[in-house]
Amino acid sequence: MTRLLVVFLGGMLFAIGLGVSGMTDANKVIGFLNLAGDWDPSLAFVMVGAIGVHLTLFRLILKRESPLFAERFEIPTRRDINPKLVGGAGLFGIGWGLGGFCPGPGLASLPAFGSSAAVFVGCMVFGMAIHKIAHPSVKNSRHQEA
Amino acid sequence: MLTSILWATVGGGLIGLAASWLLLTKGQVAGISGILGRLLDTWNDQSAWRLSFLLGLLLGGGVLVATLPESIAAPADRSLMLVGIAGVLVGYGTRLGNGCTSGHGVCGLSRFSVRSLVATISFMTTGFLTATLLGIFGGAG
């Protein structure tokens, strides 16, 4: 139970970070991705802040033998660059530019009860289901790959 | 603009902290599309923590609604039809490419993964192109 509560708190902190940073404001996201309009580059600094912190802590954490509430670290090990990776990420980017939502902000926006976030998340789950049906061979569901 | 940059950096820092927290406690990478996609795939011994993390994400959204209501905003010039198409592309694309802004962008780049760098360049390029073309040609409705 403790371990689930601890992970739950991590999810909460993640959402609060998204909100504070501006990532849950779809108009701000679109203003960042639309280079033609009145360009707002500030969201680039979300990456600066996130990577700055995680890059530092990641190294310190991995000095431990194991995580606090699990047997081992499950860090993605794949190194292959293939058309699925590039094409899948490319399709994701098109969707991100069309709607202004990526997965985290879409989910974190749900409690505001707006129709856009609900439609986005519903259709995102549908898109994931299409992938599962189209690529049934993907069995490695235990491990994170991203 | 300067305030906006400051908040983006601070919020980003919190995201990085949350990703580090998940790594320290569960040894897992905080990739939202991977966590959701795998939860939908199968119910196994990893499902409980995934569900727990996503419920935390939702409650965190609730905290935002209560404390920073203006931080959540729907896209003003995108029809629901367009947002739906966007959702399908994001769902399918993130599963095919094994990650999104958090998994590849934050976590992958933080450990200098070339795979994640390639994915990030790909989704940033198509993201900029799509939003910019929609901005120029205005067919956003």
Query: What is the distance between the alpha carbons of residues A117 and B71, in angstroms, rounded to a whole number?
Result: 14
Its sign, for the CA torsion B47, B48, B53, B59, is positive
Q: Who among A47, A99, A106 is closest to B82 (CB)?
A: A99
B47 interaction partners in chain A (CB closer than 8 Å): none
Domain range list for chain A: 2-134
CA-based max dimension of chain A: 50
Q: What pLDDT score does A137 carry?
A: 66
pLDDT band at residue B1 using 50, 70 and 90 as cut-offs: confident
Q: Tokens 């898109």: give the residue.
A: A127
pLDDT over 60 at A143, yes or no: no
What's the pLDDT at A141?
Answer: 46
Determine the average pLDDT of the residues in A86-93: 98
Of B56, B96, B132, Cβ closest to residue A34: B132
Do the beta carbons of residue B39 and residue B54 sit within 8 Å? yes
Does the structure show a pLDDT above 90 at A94? yes
**Whether pLDDT at A120 is above 50:** yes
pTM, two decimal places: 0.95
Question: Phi/psi class of residue B138: alpha, beta or left (left: φ > 0; alpha: ψ in -120 to 50)?
Answer: left
A131 to chain B nearest CA, in Å? Answer: 5
pLDDT averaged over every residue in chain A: 93
Beta partners for residue A25, in sequence order: B73
Give 3-state DSSP helix, strand, coil % of chain B, rounded to 5.
80, 0, 20
CB contact under 8 A, A45 and B12: yes
Per-residue model confidence (pLDDT) at position B82: 97
Residue type, B106: V
Flag whether pLDDT at B139 surpasses 90. no
pLDDT tens across B104-134, in order?
Answer: 999 999 999 999 999 999 999 999 999 999 9
Under a CB-based contact definition with an 8 Å cutoff, are residues A104 and B107 in contact?
Answer: no
The one-letter amino acid code at B49 reads W
- A 10 A CB-CB count for A129 gives 17
CA–CA separation, B62 vs B76, rounded Å?
21
How much is the ipTM here?
0.96
Q: What is the pLDDT of residues B15-70, one digit of tens each?
A: 999 999 999 999 999 999 999 999 999 999 999 999 999 999 999 999 999 999 99
CA A55/CA A44 separation, integer angstroms? 16
Cβ contact, residue pair A98, B103, below 8 Å: no
Q: Is A22 left (phi over 0), alpha (psi -120 to 50) or beta?
A: left
Cβ-nearest to B86 among A73, A98, A144? A98
